Structure formats: C-alpha cells, structure tokens
Amino acid sequence: MFGLTMTMRIQGPFDALIRELESTPSARRRMQLIHKLALSHMTEMIDRIIPFLGDEPRVRHAAARALVSFGENARQPMLDLLGDMHRGELPPGAVTVLAGIV
C-alpha cells in the first residue's frame, strides 16, 4: 500500500571522519583519524587512506601502518598505485606498505 521510496542517503559515522581527515590542517589529528578508519576494517577505507602516503612523515607512517593492517586487501591497491605510469611521483610510503604486507 505504501509505495513511497526514500532515496535520501543517511550519513554514516565514517563520512564525518573522512571529511575531517581531508580538511584538517593538524598532522596529529590526521594521524588519529587514519587510525580510526583503519580500526573499522572496512576495505572501502583503503582508498581514503592511500592519499596520505604522500603526506608529511608522521602522517605517512600512520597511513602506511593503517594500510598494512588491511593485509592482503591492500595489496592490489598498492600494486595499482605503483604501476600507474601517468603518476608524476609515487608516494614514498607505498613500497613500505607492500613490504609490510609481504
């Protein structure tokens, strides 16, 4: 009887964390947020963490540790990143992540 369909997307708790991660100027806060995203064990977070492999050293290290915690799920995204011929520079932490997974 009720044919009403709702297409509104309800924001999850990770949406707010991702927005803050992408906008905060604080390296310490980025490190904390990356750690929280890794604790989710949601493989969708891998692509959100990868850009921070090119961040300052403390954040890069946090991103690498977080990605290693995803284990084999992070292997292919790292291989894709390293194999991207159109990329000007490779994030320094990408090789570290692969070494940690292997």
* pLDDT number for residue 1: 45
Tell me the HSE value of 59 on the side-chain side, using a 13 A CA sphere. 20
Residue-wise pLDDT for 4-58, tens only, equals: 444 444 457 789 999 999 999 999 999 999 999 999 999 999 999 999 998 999 9
Global pTM reads 0.81
Residue pair 38/56 in contact by the 8 Å Cβ criterion: no
